[in-house]
Structure 1
Amino acid sequence: MPRISVIVPAYNAAGTIGSALRSTLRDLPRDAEIVVLDDGSSDGTAAAVDAVADDRVRMISRANRGVAATLDELLDLTDGEIVARMDADDLVLPGRFRRQLRAIDGGADAVFTTVVTWGSGMPGVPRPSGIHPDDFGLHLLLTNPVAHSTLLARRSAIVDAGGYRALPTEDYDLWLRMAARGSRLTRLGLPGLAYRVHPGQVTASAQWRHASWTNAELAAAYSELAEKLIGTPATRITSLSIDDRLDAAGKLAEFDGFAHRFSAALDGHSASAQRALRRKLSERRSWLTSRIHQGSVVAR
């Protein structure tokens, strides 16, 4: 049994999956496997995977069922103690797995990295900014601070949280539930992935965002983590922005109440963590104000 199972959902990825797999293999320890699930592709994805000649890669093909079902099936198809994620259109950067495994061996349950973005304009190189496990849950109450394809985690932590659920933002939903259960999630400052940005991504869709912002299961997972960390249930900020039950003043008042409790919860965190979280909290208020203003203009 390999120690690490890298799970790769793939759908119509013939043009990118070969380079994605080769970059992963170059960085991957020998005691590891890559399992690709071809989710009903209609192009040459399967042939592109077959062309990567390495005994650490295996592929399963079946009819299309969607990414969340594919990820859950990949968990069932693998048995590595450690589960890593990779997307069929990204590239692993050198040293990713070595650094992540070091963090796992140091006591983390799930380890992410920052990313270099590419594919649309100039590459985006992040400021080296890690997130300590003690601070990760608070970051989740503001936004999803990590790219799914950078995940490396203990299988037990994923399974104990219930695995992936078939809903929008299945990754963020899982992080919320893992954090609520007390799992130690962390983000390393150095980038471990070149993350491809393109207009066809599901997350670029307004319909996808709306489905995520209105999903009841995701709202419940968020509220549970808020109660654990700031002492009271809360509404996700994106969901608050489109809540028709509140006018503009009511939305800002609810956010300011959340911000007060959030700020109080920062006591005991490091000075640098407090600065980062307060800055992000201010950015989220500005975002909410802008969204409310856009909505009021449209309504006129």
Structure 2
Amino acid sequence: MSVSPAALPAYSVLLPLAPWESPPVLREALASLVAQGLPPAQVVVSCDGPPPEALALELERAELPMDLVLGPGGEGLGPVLARGLLACREELVLRFDADDLCLHDRALWQVQAMVRRPELAALSAPLAEFQVDPQQASGCRTVPRGAHRLRRFSRWRNPLNHPAVILRRSRVLAAGNYRARSGFEDYDLWLRLLRRGDSLDNLAEPVVLARVGPAHLGRRQGWGYARREVAFLWACGREGLLPWAQVVLLLVLRPPLRMLPAAGLGWLMAALLRRSASRS
């Protein structure tokens, strides 16, 4: 049963902003927030350093209830998100990236779902991906549904799509907020929430169109990413977020995949981790 929009609680949006974002792309992203059927009460833009003039101009032009949170720069995504979440006033917080697009009813669907299911600490959805034209989907990044499947899946892979997440602020803060876990800030948070006994889940249909391309894939390959992944997995074992047997298995399986050339890694991800748009 849906909850009437008039009876729904207010929500904040948490948008991290890096200085290298494209102004036209940011303009499109902000326009998708302006067009929400259920508008936000607050948009927190947490900046990794002062935004360049062109990005600052796009923020000023957006017709949104915006709060700008500035950091010193060069901190990484975890501290930027942690500072931004502390600045959010509402209990429900919609995560959003500066290069993605929200579907018109994203906020309505996700806020309704969180009201219906107060046990949830976070909720995401499949992620519809595009490269140039949002009307031409290139794939869909699927995620598991149901508490049992999600918990089992989390031992192998990130169980939520971060760009499509809505959070319950108090639960995230109780778990320790975002941390500096380069490349794994959200996975680290989900595992800590699950360890606390919090519930996570996913919607059946996409709510966000995510912009992807060669640069997106390139961030997940090479020695640098492999070293960060090894450090993250080791920390998961040390903190009891994953069983040591699972950590050892992942340490054997994961790093070699990061050494594949971009074409090989892209094929593997398309074959194993996503379903094509034609099968959606």
Take 2:233 and 2:89, find their aligned partners in 1: how far apart are those partners? 28
Deviation at residue 133 of structure 1 after TM alignment:
2.3
**What is the RMSD computed on CA atoms of the aligned residues?**
2.9
Take 1:172 and 1:76, find their aligned partners in 2: how far apart are those partners? 19
Instruction: Say whether 1:175 aligns with 2:184.
Output: no
Distance of aligned partners of 1:223 and 1:39 in 2 relative to their CA distance in 1, 3 Å threshold? closer
CA offset digits 1:82-130 (Å, max 9, x no partner): 1221000000012222221222112322110111101169623439875
Runs (4 or more) in structure 1 with deviation over 6 Å come to none
Q: Equivalent of 1:20, from 29, 39, 49?
A: 29
Q: TM-score normalised to the size of structure 2?
A: 0.75
Match of 2:105 in 1: 95
Structure 1 unaligned blocks of 5 or more: 245-282, 285-300
Q: TM-score normalised to the size of structure 1?
A: 0.70
1:248-287 aligned at under 5 Å gives the runs: none
Deviation at residue 147 of structure 1 after TM alignment:
2.0
Take 2:187 and 2:248, find their aligned partners in 1: how far apart are those partners? 12
Q: How many pairs does the alignment contain?
A: 240
Take 1:103 and 1:222, find their aligned partners in 2: how far apart are those partners? 34
Take 1:37 and 1:3, find their aligned partners in 2: how far apart are those partners? 20
Take 2:248 and 2:211, find their aligned partners in 1: how far apart are those partners? 27
1:1-300 aligned at under 5 Å gives the runs: 3-11=10-18, 12-13=20-21, 14-27=23-36, 29-30=38-39, 32-40=41-49, 41-42=51-52, 44-54=54-64, 56-64=65-73, 65-105=75-115, 106-107=117-118, 108-119=120-131, 123-126=137-140, 131-168=145-182, 169-201=184-216, 203-216=219-232, 219-220=235-236, 224-227=240-243, 234-235=246-247, 237-241=249-253
Deviation at residue 233 of structure 1 after TM alignment:
5.1
Deviation at residue 74 of structure 1 after TM alignment:
0.3
Q: 1:128–1:190: 8 Å Cα contact kept in structure 2? A: no
Distance of aligned partners of 1:3 and 1:237 in 2 relative to their CA distance in 1, 3 Å threshold? farther
| Secondary structure at the counterpart of residue 137 of structure 1 | helix
Distance of aligned partners of 1:28 and 1:114 in 2 relative to their CA distance in 1, 3 Å threshold? same
Distance of aligned partners of 1:28 and 1:219 in 2 relative to their CA distance in 1, 3 Å threshold? farther
Match of 2:260 in 1: none
Distance of aligned partners of 1:133 and 1:96 in 2 relative to their CA distance in 1, 3 Å threshold? farther
Kindly provide the amino acid, as one letter, of the partner of residue 67 in structure 2: R
Q: 1:114–1:188: 8 Å Cα contact kept in structure 2? A: yes
Take 1:57 and 1:96, find their aligned partners in 2: how far apart are those partners? 19
Kindly provide the amino acid, as one letter, of the partner of residue 139 in structure 1: F
Structure 2 unaligned blocks of 5 or more: 1-8, 257-271, 274-280
Distance of aligned partners of 1:75 and 1:95 in 2 relative to their CA distance in 1, 3 Å threshold? same
Take 1:208 and 1:187, find their aligned partners in 2: how far apart are those partners? 30
Kindly provide the amino acid, as one letter, of the partner of residue 35 in structure 2: R
Query: Which structure's relative contact order is higher, taking Cα pairs within 8 Å and 6+ residues apart?
Result: 2
| Secondary structure at the counterpart of residue 136 of structure 1 | helix
Deviation at residue 172 of structure 1 after TM alignment:
0.6
| Secondary structure at the counterpart of residue 94 of structure 2 | strand
| Secondary structure at the counterpart of residue 186 of structure 2 | helix
Tell which deviates more after alignment, 108-117 or 2-11.
Answer: 2-11
User: Could you tell me the percent identity over the aligned residues?
Assistant: 25
Q: 1:141–1:222: 8 Å Cα contact kept in structure 2? A: no
Q: 1:212–1:218: 8 Å Cα contact kept in structure 2? A: no
CA offset digits 1:184-229 (Å, max 9, x no partner): 10011100100111233373342453133211576426973445xx
